[in-house]
Structure 1
Amino acid sequence: MESAMSLTDALHELDRRQQERPRIGFIAAVIKKFSDDQAGQLAALISYYAFVSLFPLLLVFVTVLGFVLQGDPDEQRRILNGTLGQFPILRDQLKLHSLSGSALALAVGIAFALLAGVGVTNAAQNAFNRIWNVPFKHRPNFIFIRLRGLGMLGILGAQAIVSTVAAGFVGSASHAPLAVAGGIVVALAFNVALFMTAFKLLPALDVAWRDLLPGVIVATIGWQLLQHLGGFYIDHELKRTGPLYGFFALVLGLLAWLYVGAQLTLFAAEINVVKARRLWPRSFFSDDLLTADKRALTASAEVEERVHDEDVEVSFQRQDK
């Protein structure tokens, strides 16, 4: 009994200390909100839709690239090698397979790829609306959210293609250190623009551009590191496996890569929300709520407002600290 009490006292003391240190308290508040929003489950849903749609979308891209650069195989190979470096888990598989046949077959493939891609944007919109505590009554309806998702898929897809092609062209044009560094810089610049656009468009509310920058920087650097880790996994693990194990390793590796990437993106979005709304310091104990805790809990409860005539009111019995 005494050991349990001492452990509780120690945890309360640790909680008090993180509240007194702004930087540590900020990180703790981001982690707390990430947990409160069940962002891990939201990331799992995004990664599922991304798993279903990523291969057909990239397969269509590889095929279109083959049509466009049909007369220049060297240029096609150079851009393709650099582009697939942005998606290391699928790199070797996409080099082996591409859509072939008539333009009609390609059009059908594009249609199915877009249908799967809309699932990703819908899941991402739901996640960002949850993170920003947008009430259901202010979110797009069943039809408009899909039309909005299709538009965002086109915008973000175009930016992603430009980013990967540009980075691939610069990075694969030469093995010289300057060219490699140029490819990294180009990829980082385009990824900043890509994440800035995504973080601006996904939530159904107007967020100032300056409030998006911290999370965008974290997401950009994190994704760059994740791509390098994926490439390391391919080069040092998958290439040494047999066909059967290699297939399962590819599937599990891709799912894990997408899930970590989705969690990283949502964590970066949580950084923006906590900073923009000053939701720190937070307490990790429900019997010792701070002002930031009450603001966060109130916003979370108001998410459940589903019609315009519905207003959720939140009250706390204890006074603010």
Structure 2
Amino acid sequence: MSSQSADAGRVGNAIGLVRRVVSETSDQDVTFLAAAVAYYAFVSLFPAAVLALVVATAVGGEQLATVVLAASDDVLTETGQALLINTLQSGGWEGATVISLLLTLWGTLKVFRGIDTAFVKIYGAVESASIVDQIKDSLVVAVSIGASFLAMVVMGSVLAALNLDVVLELLGVLVLPAVLSAAFLPMYYFFPEPRVSVREVLPGAMFAGVGWTLLQAGFQAYVNYQSASGGGQVELYGVVGAVLLLVTWLYFGAIVVLVGVVVNVTLADDKGVGFDAGAPGLGGRPATDGRGGAARDRHGKGLAAYARQHMSEDEREDGPAPDLSELDRQVAELRADLDDIDDRTVEKPALEDELKRYVRSRMRRGHARGWGPYLVLLYGVVLTLGAFAWLDGWFAIGAMLILFLSTLGLYVLFVLAGIGLNLIDVPGKAIDAVRKRRGQ
């Protein structure tokens, strides 16, 4: 019976941990942060692949470039690989190298900045690290992420080249999470502020390693399925499908990494890591007696025990009886302070009226205006893409000039519409001013 109760308690604790992780993930907007990281990772990944192929071709010729391209099977579909080959075969290697290098550096810096922002937000750090520490941590993260990608590519290439049996392939799949966990461990260790121990960040690194292994397996299964079926859907969606698939993979990979951070923070909160157990209510926790138990100050028992333990004999001796006149004076001062606080406290009806006026003014001010610039941008993008697709030469240049002028004119129309809406708001503002004056 006791073993069953213990097992039920462990299951309940695990379910509670999962619920807290899910709640914290939602509260910290982890999916939004992961989207930013995935975008910048994609911006830097494709130029980095182009740069790697250019360097491989320059150093080892087409043979080394073929090996590098074959090693990217785990992260690129056949359409993505074909896009890389077409980019290199179109000429202009020097320009492609320079642009790829700049985009890779810019995207990598933004990825590190996004990850650092996510760590600061999830850990709730008040002060971020210095510039020097951020650069050092970014270098460590670059090595760890590069090692993780390299481990995935090398492991998949080795298993595919050796044509091993099912047992050895399963062994390779079991080894990959450990390799990825070791690659992610420096990132989880160096990014938090203040510093944490390796033991505290190990669960998140293991979670990320297992999660990325599952993502890699799913991606590889999808690629194999498309290859076996003739790639009909890949040909249907073309480059757009390859880009969407890669961005989706990076997005879920970033979510797994950031959820690993949430796991570390949740486990640290459960254990009280990083908080002073003797400080009352520190970090949203109740006051404790220094031994993990709650302070029993309702009837003075906990405070009395604390006094017996930490106060000297002289401090515990009873002093003379208090002066009643002095107590009356202190009570009068306390009542005066309370009256002053009541005078400065905003009454609920007045606060509600003020909030209603503010909400009405903001609704009128923001009504039907936020979408204006987006419509202008969509208009210009759609027509510009059409000009690129169906026009050539001077016709395309003329069409782009007309699009620029028409987009500018459309923006002017939206500005004039905004001015008209401001004029419509004048009566409402006047009514709010009269109501405010009557309320005073």
CA distance in 2, matches of 1:237, 1:173: 20
Offset at residue 175 of structure 1 (A):
1.1
Q: What corresponds to 2:12 in structure 1? A: 21
The CA RMSD measured in Å over matched residues stands at 3.5
Distance 1:105-1:92 versus aligned 2 partners, 3 A rule? closer
Q: What corresponds to 1:248 in structure 2? A: 240
Alignment partner of 1:204 out of 193, 197, 200: 193
Show structure 1 runs of 4+ deviating over 4 A.
Answer: 17-20, 75-80, 98-105, 143-146, 294-298
Residue pair 1:33, 1:270 contacting (<8 A) in 2 also: yes
Give the unaligned 5+ runs of structure 1: 1-16, 281-293, 299-318
Q: Does residue 172 in structure 1 map to residue 160 in structure 2?
A: yes
Offset at residue 216 of structure 1 (A):
1.4
Percent identical across equivalent pairs?
25
CA distance in 1, matches of 2:207, 2:68: 27
Residue type matched to 1:246 in 2? G
Residue type matched to 2:266 in 1? V
List aligned pairs for 1:37-186, cutoff 5 A.
Answer: 37-70=28-61, 73=63, 77=66, 80-81=69-70, 83-88=71-76, 90=77, 92-94=79-81, 96-98=83-85, 99=88, 106-135=97-126, 138-140=127-129, 144=132, 147-148=135-136, 150-152=138-140, 154-160=142-148, 162-164=150-152, 166-177=154-165, 180-181=169-170, 183-185=172-174
Length-normalised TM-score, structure 2: 0.51
Offset at residue 189 of structure 1 (A):
3.5
Q: Does residue 261 in structure 1 map to residue 253 in structure 2?
A: yes
List aligned pairs for 1:204-243, cutoff 5 A.
Answer: 204-236=193-225, 239-241=231-233, 243=235
Residue pair 1:78, 1:172 contacting (<8 A) in 2 also: no
Give the unaligned 5+ runs of structure 2: 1-7, 273-280, 286-297, 299-440
Residue type matched to 1:133 in 2? G
Residue pair 1:215, 1:272 contacting (<8 A) in 2 also: yes
Number of residue pairs the alignment of both structures matches: 263
Residue pair 2:137, 2:190 contacting (<8 A) in 1 also: no
Q: What corresponds to 2:385 in structure 1? A: none
Residue pair 2:179, 2:209 contacting (<8 A) in 1 also: no
Distance 1:187-1:221 versus aligned 2 partners, 3 A rule? same
Deviation per CA, 1:121-174, whole angstroms, max 9, x where unpaired? Answer: 110111012111111xx2035x55763465245423542454245324522331
Distance 1:103-1:248 versus aligned 2 partners, 3 A rule? closer
Offset at residue 278 of structure 1 (A):
0.9
The structure whose Rg is larger is: 2
Length-normalised TM-score, structure 1: 0.68
Residue pair 2:21, 2:262 contacting (<8 A) in 1 also: yes
**Higher RCO, 1 vs 2 (CA within 8 Å, ≥6 residues apart):** 1
Residue type matched to 1:48 in 2? Y
Q: Which structure has the highest helix share of the two? A: 2
Offset at residue 79 of structure 1 (A):
5.8
Distance 1:277-1:119 versus aligned 2 partners, 3 A rule? same
Residue pair 2:215, 2:253 contacting (<8 A) in 1 also: yes
CA distance in 2, matches of 1:263, 1:165: 21
Alignment partner of 2:25 out of 34, 41, 49: 34
CA distance in 1, matches of 2:149, 2:242: 23
